[in-house]
């Protein structure tokens, strides 16, 4: 076990609805390193995306976590609803115990630009990506009672804005909200960091885009979900306790 507690601590990972997603990789990596894991998903989001909902994904992910020795709890939640964060914490706490790490992988992401974004889409992006993240962090801060220095908050972000305006803009807000927690939750000894994983294909890239992104990356490959999961596991471990208030680019150098 790579964590300092005698019992397995609990991580809450949001946005874990597909086996190929970053959220699922993070949840599995944390389970393998000694965490129990609560995770959220929202099937209607996947149903309206081009990849569609993955039948049986939630149970497959749950079994994978259990296979790593973790207790696991899946919670379906629409993060547009302002009461969802409190309900999520209530369910995870009742089934697994108090949450020691909050890892936010959820998102609303629908391509549109300055001229064709609708007000409804703009508002939904900010409700899910920014407001819900604030409410989750607030709930975590209100409830955290762990030892000083053991709490973790991590959010996944993106700097893609052109042609993806509401997504990128709301992720920028997410960055600021998360980084504020590094100072505002300092009295709890909670670290808060943001990770930009760069381009990772989880089923949304065309072959042309894959080739283009690979060609622009100094290491000559796309990022993988495991790349991000390894960094999250490090930050959640005692080895990552001195990294705080940072926006970390884990993108293979594509932004260099």
Give me the tens of pLDDT residue by residue for the chain, a chain 256 residues long. 344 444 899 999 999 999 999 999 999 999 999 999 999 999 999 999 888 899 999 999 999 999 999 999 999 999 999 999 999 999 999 999 999 999 999 999 999 999 999 999 999 999 999 999 999 999 999 999 999 999 999 999 998 888 999 999 999 999 999 999 999 999 999 999 999 998 887 777 777 877 887 877 888 888 889 999 999 999 999 999 999 999 999 988 888 7
DSSP the chain: --SSSSSPPEEEEE----TTSHHHHHHHHHHHTT-EEEEEE-HHHHHTSTT---TTHHHHHHHHHHHTT--EEEEE--TTSTTHHHHHHHHHHHHT--EEEEEE-------B-TTT--HHHHHHHIIIIIIHHHHHHHHHHHH--SPTT-EEEEEE-----TTBHHHHHHHHHHHHHHHHHHHHTGGGTEEEEEEE---B-SS---HHHHHHHHHHSTTSS-B-HHHHHHHHHHHHSGGGTT--S-EEE-STTTT-
Q: What is the pLDDT of residue 6?
A: 45
Q: What is the pLDDT of residue 199?
A: 83
Q: What is the pLDDT of residue 210?
A: 78
State pTM to two decimals: 0.94
Q: What is the pLDDT of residue 17?
A: 93
Q: What is the pLDDT of residue 207?
A: 78
């Amino acid at each position: 076990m790579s964590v300092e507690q005698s019992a397995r601590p609990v991580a809450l990972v949001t946005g874990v609805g597909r086996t190929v997603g970053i959220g699922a990789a993070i949840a599995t990596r944390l389970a393998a390193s000694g965490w129990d894991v609560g995770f959220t998903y929202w099937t209607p989001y996947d149903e309206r995306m081009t990849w569609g909902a993955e039948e049986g994904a939630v149970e497959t992910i749950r079994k994978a976590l259990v296979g790593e020795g973790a207790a696991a709890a899946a919670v379906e939640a629409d993060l547009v609803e302002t009461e969802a964060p409190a309900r999520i914490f209530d369910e995870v706490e009742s089934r697994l115990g108090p949450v020691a790490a909050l890892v936010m992988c959820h998102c609303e992401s629908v391509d549109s630009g300055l001229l064709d974004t609708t007000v409804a889409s703009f508002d939904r992006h900010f409700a899910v990506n920014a407001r819900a993240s604030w409410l989750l962090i607030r709930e975590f801060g209100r409830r955290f009672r762990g030892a000083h220095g053991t709490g973790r908050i991590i959010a996944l972000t993106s700097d893609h804005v052109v042609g993806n305006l509401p997504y990128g803009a709301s992720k920028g807000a997410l960055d600021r909200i998360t980084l504020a927690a590094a100072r505002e939750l300092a009295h709890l000894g909670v670290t808060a960091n943001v990770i930009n994983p760069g381009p990772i294909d989880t089923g949304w890239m065309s072959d042309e885009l894959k080739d283009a992104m690979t060609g622009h990356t100094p290491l000559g490959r796309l990022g993988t979900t495991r790349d991000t999961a390894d960094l999250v596991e490090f930050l959640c471990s005692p080895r990552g306790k001195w990294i705080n208030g940072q926006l970390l680019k884990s993108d293979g150098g594509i932004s260099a």
